[in-house]
Chain A
Amino acid sequence: MSLRRQHVLVVEDSDEDFETVLDAAQRAGISHLIQRATSGDECLRLLRGADRRRDAQPALVLMDLNTPGDDGREALRQIRNDATLPSLPLVVLSASANPRDLQFCYAHCVNAYHVKPVEHARHLEVPQQIFAYWLGCVVLPD
């Protein structure tokens, strides 16, 4: 477990959904800072910020696909083509169950793809488990 990656980047344009993610983080009991981007552009800006040290990178990017502007897909493509962003855990949490979206995301090497349930209790469970797994179990290179 890396001790240096101290934050999680959540790309989510919906305030309600972001709040659900925050609730889930709280329930998962993680100590990571949660940084929010509301678009793919903003996500890239944050990742490519001035401080490029590896430990400045997030421990996890949790991304919604359908965000305003350059949407999540474009951000995804750029992240995976960026040699300065290696081994960045990227998990999609999208409302879309479109097989094309799934195909696209896995073709661009997302680490996992989840569909947002409408039922709140189940919706809460998904990011909770994601946080528990990626921030609690997964080991990343230094």
Chain B
Amino acid sequence: MNPPGTTEPTPPWGAGPYSTLRHGTALATCDSEPVHTPGCIQAHGALLVLRLGDLCILQASENCDLHLGETATQLLGHSVGRVVGAAGEAQLHQMLEREPPLPGAAYAFTLPARTGASPLDVCVHVSAGVAVLELEATSRAGQSGDPDFFALVKSAVGRLQASASVRDFCQTVTREVYGLTGLDRVMVYRFHADLHGEVIAESRHARLAPWLGLHYPADDIPLPAREIFKRIWIRPLPDAAGPLVELLPLANPDNGRALDMTHCALRGASVMYTKYLANMGVAASLTMPILRDGELWGLIACHHETPTRFPYQLRAACELVAQVASLQLKSVEHAEQLAYRLKLEGVHQELVARSAREGDLLALTEHQPSLLDAIDAGGVALYHLERWWCVGRVPEVPQLEALSAWLYEQPVLESATRPVFATEALASVCPAAAGLEAIASGMLAVALSRQRRGLILWFRPETLQTIPWAGNPRDDPPVPGPQGRRLSPRASFALFVESVRGRSRPWSDTETDAALRLRLLVLDLVITRAERLADLNADLTRSNEELDAFAYVASHDLKEPLRGIHRYAHQLLENAEALDGDNRRRVESLMRLTVRMDSLLDSLLHFSRVGRMELELEDTDLNAVLEEALEMIGARRLESRCSIGIPRRLPQVQCDPVRVREIYSNLLANAMKYKRNADAHIEVGYIGAQDSEGRAAAPDEAAGHTVYYVKDDGIGIDRRHHEQVFRMFKRMHGRDDYGGGVGAGLTIVQKLVQRHGGRVWLDSTLGAGATFYFTLPGWAVSA
């Protein structure tokens, strides 16, 4: 079992066969120890190697005289019948010739007790072309009766099948094995991805300190031992400190090979291992593997403080428990994942359903349950519609922006099948995450669109992973030996706590799968919303057109009776000379009112047209536009004898010149209309985008835009009326004061400015003139 890449032409024990007894302390590393061919057995039993066919004894353990009454030398070369009798030999023949061959060691029979000794359980198996006979004292002597292992195992298996989670399951395993064996401590020891182990379940005698939750370095179980545990179901070591005895001869005389003892219950243990156990105060151990898909998932490790015996039947029962545990593990894992997946799925479905109901992804983060109640995380951030929605502990927005910029560079988010990114150590891969470990050591991300417009990020904090090691995993073990650096068991098993920085709990497949499914649900929702929005837009367009039609029809229908009224009033005046002064005035008022109603209808029509018509944006010289506006209202300019100042030439701007001319003509007309002195002065100018002067009353939206203004020295507007002046048909003065008018001019100005994406506001106090400001950001805004 050499690690790949290393060559050892001559092992330290020379050219001959290995013996733990002779060479066990001369090893450079545990990983080079030939643990499957130790050349030695545990002295509490005897072992015979038989040639297949004639069952002639080829090798025998040196303690045969103690157990069998004859020395190894006396037995070598004889048929096995010399030990087990003719009937035993016949039975062995029958067992060894059976097809298919024995899968591992099988109980054959019990040899009756010789004088002064116990009866011996005889087990047999085939190893590399020889039959191996193991003889151990049975437990039956001195005991009133065997426990009913069949019944015990049967009920244990039943309880194993009832476990809902892996942890429960392992706890059941230790409890059952503890009950079955009566050993002091039974643990389930689980291997992590880096091969280090953790005690995840334990049943122990009350006087022992708990080892549950302890971690053990990978070195504690060397690679060769791990390999053996993929092939055997049980490893008994009833007396760890007990003596070892060699086989005689060490190599098979037929082929010169060492005996492969992988399947031997009596296989001699590595000195390293027995010292390790002794350091922990363990006198006997029984170990069973838990396999998952042929890989070593963990161990069932049993310890006893005094030497004991593991009779064949007990071992068989424990083997069965290990096999059932291995078979059952996967389905327990699946059940656990399924339960978690169903929970995630349930919460996600509920969230999306609520979002759909409320028409807003906000529902994913704002209410209970939220995204935080599904995938286990410290915080969730959702980027949608140009903003972040967060729940729980997440980085600040600028940091989220930096993380998402980095994420979008990761090709995995573009994947057609699994556009998901998951890490348990974000800062180690993403520079933008440096310093965020406390909140975002782990990140799980899915993209909601290919256009970089949507993301869901789950964050996990650093699990300042306090790992309680059984002893310091780094300081202790490597000490130089006679053959250079070799491992020896650690002297101290004092608790050593290590902190792992910058790492979170890892994301499971169940979680990444759930994130991907949530992504599909949200995408579906977003698409549905987009469709609904399109429908709404269509509806809006339709209703705008209907409103358009309505305005004109109304104008026609309202104007027709108006014309009739006016006509009859006109005829009354013309024909009825006899009308007295009062009645004449009343009829004249009637006519004036119809004319006024007519202009109100016209303004209404104009306003509705302003809101709907397409803007035609072009690069425009505002000076020319202003000139035209002045010309349009020129008649009034003459009448009112006002002066118009333009401090500096107006700039070029992207706008609809016809509409902006209307803005200017309305504002100028107002300025001239509401003058205070006979000689009014009006100023038309602008504040540059970068200028800060004169922006005191400006709304936030005007920041960074050029502000245009028309300033007069007229009567001014009381501050409390500043909002009202923009209201349709709202007049601040009597109907016929200041030249009359319907009160639609500023409403239309406001609409036109809004159509350009701008804002209009004013600065004025009563009696001190008024300044109207507006911006023209230069993009068309639909009505």
The answer to whether A and B belong to the same complex is yes
Residues on A close to B: CB < 8 A? 14, 16-17, 19-20, 66, 94-99, 101, 116-121, 123
Question: Residues of A contacting B560 with CB < 8 Å?
Answer: 14, 16-17, 95
User: Does B765 have its Cβ within 8 Å of any Cβ on chain A?
Assistant: no
Closest CB-CB distance, B228 to chain A, in whole Å? 93
The answer to whether A118 touches B563, judged by C-beta atoms less than 8 angstroms apart, is yes
Find B570's partner among A95, A98, A101, A121 (CB 8 Å cutoff).
Answer: A121
Q: How far is the CA of A36 from the CA of B591 in the complex (A)?
A: 28
User: Does B566 have its Cβ within 8 Å of any Cβ on chain A?
Assistant: yes
Scoring B residues 547 to 574 as 1 if CB is less than 8 Å from chain A, else 0, what string do you get?
Answer: 0000011011001101110111111000
Q: Could you give 6 example pairs across A and B, Cβ below 8 Å?
A: A14-B560, A16-B567, A118-B563, A118-B594, A119-B595, A123-B563
Q: How far is the CA of A121 from the CA of B591 in the complex (A)?
A: 11
* A94 nearest CB neighbor, chain B only: B556
Q: How far is the CA of A118 from the CA of B557 in the complex (A)?
A: 12
Question: Residues of A contacting B568 with CB < 8 Å?
Answer: 16
Residues of chain B from 573 to 593 with CB closer than 8 A to chain A in the complex: 591
The answer to whether B552 touches A118, judged by C-beta atoms less than 8 angstroms apart, is no
The answer to whether A66 touches B594, judged by C-beta atoms less than 8 angstroms apart, is no
Find B566's partner among A94, A98, A99, A118 (CB 8 Å cutoff).
Answer: A118
Q: How far is the CA of A128 from the CA of B634 in the complex (A)?
A: 31
Question: Residues of B contacting A19 with CB < 8 Å?
Answer: 567
Find A116's partner among B553, B559, B571, B597 (CB 8 Å cutoff).
Answer: B559
Q: How far is the CA of A14 from the CA of B605 in the complex (A)?
A: 22
Q: How far is the CA of A23 from the CA of B602 in the complex (A)?
A: 26
Question: Residues of B contacting A98 with CB < 8 Å?
Answer: 552
Q: How far is the CA of A30 from the CA of B544 in the complex (A)?
A: 45
Residues of chain B from 486 to 518 with CB closer than 8 A to chain A in the complex: none
Contact count band on B: 20 to 34
* A14 nearest CB neighbor, chain B only: B560
The answer to whether B564 touches A95, judged by C-beta atoms less than 8 angstroms apart, is no
Question: Residues of B contacting A118 with CB < 8 Å?
Answer: 559, 562-563, 566, 594-595, 597-598
* B563 nearest CB neighbor, chain A only: A118
The answer to whether B566 touches A119, judged by C-beta atoms less than 8 angstroms apart, is yes
Q: How far is the CA of A19 from the CA of B562 in the complex (A)?
A: 15
Q: How far is the CA of A46 from the CA of B141 in the complex (A)?
A: 133
Find B567's partner among A94, A95, A96, A120 (CB 8 Å cutoff).
Answer: A120
* B594 nearest CB neighbor, chain A only: A118
Question: Residues of B contacting A17 with CB < 8 Å?
Answer: 560, 563-564
Closest CB-CB distance, B613 to chain A, in whole Å? 9
Question: Residues of B contacting A101 with CB < 8 Å?
Answer: 552
The answer to whether A96 touches B563, judged by C-beta atoms less than 8 angstroms apart, is no
Question: Residues of B contacting A66 with CB < 8 Å?
Answer: 553, 556
Scoring B residues 331 to 345 as 1 if CB is less than 8 Å from chain A, else 0, what string do you get?
Answer: 000000000000000
Closest CB-CB distance, B585 to chain A, in whole Å? 18
Question: Residues of B contacting A119 with CB < 8 Å?
Answer: 566, 591, 594-595, 598
Scoring B residues 38 to 81 as 1 if CB is less than 8 Å from chain A, else 0, what string do you get?
Answer: 00000000000000000000000000000000000000000000
Q: How far is the CA of A57 from the CA of B22 in the complex (A)?
A: 136
* A118 nearest CB neighbor, chain B only: B598
Q: How far is the CA of A35 from the CA of B657 in the complex (A)?
A: 47
Q: How far is the CA of A19 from the CA of B563 in the complex (A)?
A: 12
Q: How far is the CA of A117 from the CA of B407 in the complex (A)?
A: 68
The answer to whether B553 touches A16, judged by C-beta atoms less than 8 angstroms apart, is no
Given contacts A95-B560, A96-B556, A119-B598, 10 further A-B contacts (CB under 8 A): A14-B560, A16-B560, A17-B563, A17-B564, A94-B556, A95-B556, A96-B555, A97-B605, A118-B562, A120-B591
Q: How far is the CA of A116 from the CA of B569 in the complex (A)?
A: 17
Closest CB-CB distance, A78 to chain B, in whole Å? 22
Q: How far is the CA of A61 from the CA of B303 in the complex (A)?
A: 117
The answer to whether A16 touches B556, judged by C-beta atoms less than 8 angstroms apart, is no
Question: Residues of A contacting B598 with CB < 8 Å?
Answer: 118-119
